[in-house]
Copies of this chain bind each other. A is one copy, B any other.
């Protein structure tokens, strides 16, 4: 499973960097393959572990404040293993043609 998530704490000031950093520490602790982007964090791996990691981040940010809006997008397929690098590479190869 590949999943991207982002967490917006509501009512906690304009700068969200410390919340993202806190989540990244949880993500790094999970051992899952991951990528930080300007708009979210992308995880790749076992579906249950991916979702548990996202919900651990959600709970942590909620504890740091009072209210949280979390967005998750999952891309899951049965025909072959998830591979976040291949998704980008396959588009880049098409563009070069």
Taking beta carbons and an 8 Å cutoff, which residues of A are in contact with B? 2, 4, 6, 8, 10-14, 16-18, 20-21, 24-25, 28, 35-40, 42, 44, 47, 51, 55, 58, 62-63, 66-79, 84-85, 87-88, 90-92, 94-95
Q: How many copies does the complex hold?
A: 4
User: Looking at chain A's contact residues, is the secondary structure mostly helix, strand, loop, or mixed?
Assistant: mixed
Inter-chain contacts of A40 with B (CB < 8 A): 4, 39
Give CA–CA (A92, B78) in the complex, Å: 29
Residue A25 contacts which of B25, B51, B95 (CB distance < 8 angstroms)?
B95
Give CA–CA (A90, B37) in the complex, Å: 12
Inter-chain contacts of A92 with B (CB < 8 A): 36
